[in-house]
Amino acid sequence: MPQVLTHHQLLEIAGEFGTPLYVYHAERITEQYQRLRAAFRETDATFFYACKALTNINVLRHIKSIGCNADCSSINEVKLALLAGFEPSKVLYTSNNIAFSEIEAAVSLGVHVNIDSLSNLRKFGERYGHSYPVGIRLRPNIMAGGNLKISTGHNKSKFGIPVEDIDQVLDIVKEKNLHIRTLHIHTGSEIKDVEVFAKGIEVLFNLVKHFPELEVIDLGGGFKVPYAPGEEGTDVELLGKSVKAEFEAIAKIYGRRLQVWFEPGKFLVSEAGYFLVQVNVLKQTGDTCFAGVNSGLNHLIRPMFYGSYHHIENISNASGVPEPYHVVGNICETDTFAEDRMIAEIREDDYLVFYNAGAYGFEMASNYNSRFKPAEVLVKDNKARLIRRRDTMEDILATQVVLED
């Protein structure tokens, strides 16, 4: 049974630290990592946590402590990962549409880089030639993921070098004598269907013959986790078996063993996160009862951004009779978290918990409406500790330059 924080624990934490509050459960992250390790134990697999999902440095340190590597989406994430203590050789920078100067910065820090455009690949060749092993991010033209907004490998996506441009890639590699160490794809997020990964592997395997120094096939992240009760996530154990078979087949054909890398974000931290809010106002209008909470899309944008589902429970009155609510925020904008959601009777001041709040929750939070961002708490060894204080008015003004008239 997965480890969970109970209503009782969450109520205590809400009382101690106040709300809105993100709470992360370290042992749950460990459990997810161990599940991946077990599923891929017979494959030469390495996992790089896609830290864009949640970058609090204490979470990064925990992830490092359990033996996982780090995948970064910006040079600042690379710097954070290094500050958290990851060795440069355990850090991957999968760039997208970035200035070449960021690639130079990443190289000077000694991390592995996946390049996603022909122009940056050419510049890389001019600057480093064969001296620095590098990766190529390809767009495999595969439709995958929970919805179009989180699908990144299809034939209209901005991500990666379109696989149909492979001849141009090969020209650059030859002309500049590049050392290609990894081929990378990331087709999307919330990929339940294991077959999608097989399709990606097939695209990359057809290209292996062109890259004699290739060591790694990097299949990106995107494992789905359950959001609604009864929902299923990606069957990573099945995926582990199919990846093993496919990599053994390729070893026979090419006479060399390749490693597989993955970049899980949600899989590691989504279920470890809880978002706690308090109900400010109940508003009955016609058939609808709005439960207006002390948060909004500024703190958790996923429902408004992607139509994401977050399961919500009333932890102050869990045995109350379930009734339908529109759970909405306090932002001057339509910010609906849930519509007609059956939740145990809600009273003003009750605490609600949003599940699956570890990934892309705090990380996408903003100060919109000049509101403070939530605080963050990490629960580890049964101890709840503050890992980000709540904003203050000074923080709101911190980067503003007040002009003197």
Residues of this chain that interact with ligand PLP (CB under 6 A) are 50, 53, 71, 94, 186, 189, 220-223, 263-267, 359
Nearer to ligand PLP among residue 86 and residue 351 (C-beta): 86
Q: Which residue is nearest to ligand PLP (CB)?
A: 265
Closest CA to 149 of 336, 265, 307: 307
- Residue 53 or residue 91: which is nearer to ligand PLP going by CB? 53
SS3 of residue 402 by DSSP: coil
Residue 68 known to be catalytic: no
d(CA 180, CA 31): 34
- Cα–Cα distance for residue pair 60/355, rounded to 1 Å: 21
Check if the beta carbon of residue 28 is closer than 8 Å to that of residue 379. Answer: no
> How is residue 160 written in tokens?
């990666």
Q: Please give the Cα distance from 87 to 56 (Å, whole number).
A: 18
Neighbours of 73 (CB within 10 A): 19
Name the residue type at position 10.
L
Shortest Å, Cβ 162 to ligand PLP: 16
Alpha carbon distance 33, 190 (integer Å):
17
Tokens 């958290």 sit on residue: 84
DSSP state for residue 364 in the 8-state scheme: G
To the nearest whole angstrom, how small is the minimum distance from the Cβ of residue 86 to ligand PLP?
Answer: 16
* Strand 259-262 with 180-184, pairing: unpaired
What is the distance, to the nearest Å, from the Cα of residue 214 to the centroid of all Cα atoms in its chain?
A: 26
CB of 48 to ligand PLP, least distance (A): 8
- Determine contact, residues 55/295, Cβ cutoff 8 Å: no
Please tell me the distance from the alpha carbon of residue 368 to that of residue 104, in angstroms, as a whole number: 34
* Closer CB to ligand PLP, 24 or 351, in the complex: 24
To the nearest whole angstrom, how small is the minimum distance from the Cβ of residue 208 to ligand PLP?
21
Q: How many C-beta neighbours within 10 Å does residue 14 have?
A: 23
Nearer to ligand PLP, 264 or 296 (CB): 264
Helix (H) or strand (E) holding 250: helix 236-254
55 neighbors 361 (Cβ within 8 angstroms): no
Of the pair 72, 291, the CB lying nearest ligand PLP is at 72
Nearer to ligand PLP, 124 or 325 (CB): 124
Q: C-beta of 33: minimal distance to ligand PLP in Å?
A: 13
Which residue number, 144 or 327, has a Cβ lying nearer to ligand PLP? 144
Pair type for strands 375-380 and 383-388: antiparallel
The distance of closest approach from Cβ of residue 191 to ligand PLP in the complex, given in angstroms and rounded to an integer, is 8
Report phi then psi at 333, rounded to 5.
180, 150
- Between 128 and 267, CB nearer to ligand PLP: 267
Q: What's the closest the beta carbon of residue 94 comes to ligand PLP, in angstroms?
A: 4
CB of 221 to ligand PLP, least distance (A): 3
44 burial level (CB within 10 Å; 0-12, 13-18, 19+) = middle
Residue 19 near residue 357, CB atoms below 8 Å: no
Task: Give me the catalytic one of 51, 68, 72, 332.
Answer: 332
Which are the catalytic amino acids?
A: 332
